Amino acid sequence: MIDIKKLRENFSNVQASLKKRGYDLNEESFKSIDEKRKTLQVEVETLQSDRKKYSSEFGKLKAADKDTSKLKETIDLINTDLEQKDLSLQELMFSLNNLLLDIPNIPDESVPEGISEEENKVISQHGSVDSTNKLNHLEITKKIDIDLAAKLSGSRFAVLKGDLSKLQRSLITFMLDTAIKNGYEEYYVPFMANEESLIGTGQLPKFEEDLFKASDKLYLIPTAEVPLTNLYRNEFINEKDLPIKLTSHTPCFRSEAGSYGKDTKGLIRQHQFEKIELVQITQPEQSMKCLQDLLANACEILDKLELPYQIIELCTGDLGFSSAKTFDIEVWMPSQNKYREISSCSNFTDFQARRANIKFKNKDGNHYAHTINGSGLAVGRCLIALLENNYNGSDSIKVPSCLIQYFGSDTIKIN
């Protein structure tokens, strides 16, 4: 949620910033609602103040056993007026709040301008790509079984067998251990979250169709960002405890509404996938530095896995709803002859903190914290990348040295 004060004081600046990411903020609708709010709020609060005053006088009269009928008439009049005005005010506040919840975060000044992903900027490339292997992961191994998964659940699910399942488990443990080594505290969290949590991190109310709803009150988490960030919802953090660094491995559930026909083959886009998430909570002045830190933590995984990748910076038009600045990490997929997203690292500034009410305390008072998160990494896509990049062309996959201690062998027989 963006700061309403910024809108009041600096409307055109905010409007211009949001324009860069393709969001049209209507000046008329905001200003007229807020003007009405101001008038009405002053009236309501004056009435409340009067009522308070008269009620306490009423008490005094009563105590002195004097006549209260005249005073009661006055108060009754106030109450009638108040009831009606208060109702209108509440309606106004509600629509104002909905308006705010709908507005995306303001992009950071440093974010390159652009209207679509075409204009994202490649920051750096690492490792050397090799496209001699043209087979995709499903063609390489039968140990990823889409048909079996379809029998169990439908499309966009997968069953992993034997060594592949074990390889995934190895990747998960390796990633978690790396995160812990880098100072993140590991959490095991619920895989379902309530509405408040999802509003806190920005998935609701706008993106409900992307989520699986498990019951009246619970949704399956689309990322561990939701439970991890919401650990601190409505909390005051002591400044000396910052930055807070959290990690968790969870399955992630996404409805993939609106992506029909996209990435229909194989593991790349699933309703359920494993992910290790990295979250940092920090002071505003530190958040850009922390984003770099978190990005480096995510890249370290790919470096150690010896997979070729590139870092790109998203342009304004491609930023996610809650993000002020985002770097995507893309790993090389030989069968597609291109890089594919495997992590998205974002600084949400105070956008989530404002929604989730995450604050820190220092000498100067209370302040909204900044939140940063990113995958470290998406396990399913990482698995594909390993298969496709490390395939020997006949019957096995090379296991990178960092995984051997977890996997127990330096090669995987693929069939």
Partner RNA sequence: GGAGAGUUGGCUGAGUGGUCGAAAGCGCCUCCCUGCUAAGGAGGUAACUGGGCAACUGGUUCGAGGGUUCGAAUCCCUCACUCUCCGCCA
User: Looking at this protein, which amino acid is placed at residue 155?
Assistant: S
Q: Does 154 bind RNA (CB under 7 A)?
A: no
> Rg of the Cα trace of the chain?
27
Question: Could you say which residues in the range 180-209 bind RNA, by CB under 7 A?
Answer: none
Please provide residue 233's backbone torsions phi and psi, each rounded to the nearest 5 degrees. Answer: -60, 135
Q: Does 239 bind RNA (CB under 7 A)?
A: no
Q: Which stretch, 11-19, 47-55, 223-231, 286-294, contacts RNA (CB under 7 A)?
A: 47-55
Q: How many residues does the chain have?
A: 415
Parallel, antiparallel, or unpaired for β 325-333 and 338-347? antiparallel
User: Looking at this protein, which amino acid is placed at residue 305?
Assistant: L
Binding mask 336-365 for RNA (x = CB under 7 A): -----------------------x---x-x
Q: Which stretch, 23-31, 57-65, 95-103, 149-157, contacts RNA (CB under 7 A)?
A: 57-65
Q: Are 21 and 316 in contact (CB under 8 A)?
A: yes
Closest CA to 371 of 399, 392, 350, 394: 350
Q: Which is nearer to RNA, 69 or 124 (CB)?
A: 69
Q: Which is nearer to RNA, 206 or 367 (CB)?
A: 367
Q: Which is nearer to RNA, 89 or 221 (CB)?
A: 89
Pairwise CA distance, residues 377 & 342, whole Å = 6
Pairwise CA distance, residues 232 & 64, whole Å = 52
Least separation in angstroms between CB 358 and RNA: 11
Q: Which is nearer to RNA, 240 or 262 (CB)?
A: 240
Question: Could you say which residues in the range 6-35 bind RNA, by CB under 7 A?
Answer: none
Name the token pair of 253: 């559930």
Q: Which stretch, 39-47, 99-107, 132-140, 223-231, contacts RNA (CB under 7 A)?
A: 39-47
Pairwise CA distance, residues 359 & 376, whole Å = 25
Closest CA to 2 of 31, 22, 25: 25
Q: Does 4 bind RNA (CB under 7 A)?
A: yes
In this structure, how many other beta carbons lie within 10 angstroms of the beta carbon of residue 86? Answer: 18
Q: Which is nearer to RNA, 5 or 66 (CB)?
A: 5
Q: Does 265 bind RNA (CB under 7 A)?
A: no
Out of 6, 19, 38, 161, the residue judged to bind RNA by CB under 7 A: 38
Q: Enumerate binding residues for RNA (CB under 7 A).
A: 4-5, 38, 41-42, 44-46, 48-49, 51-52, 54-56, 58-59, 62, 72, 75-76, 79, 217, 236, 359, 363, 365-366
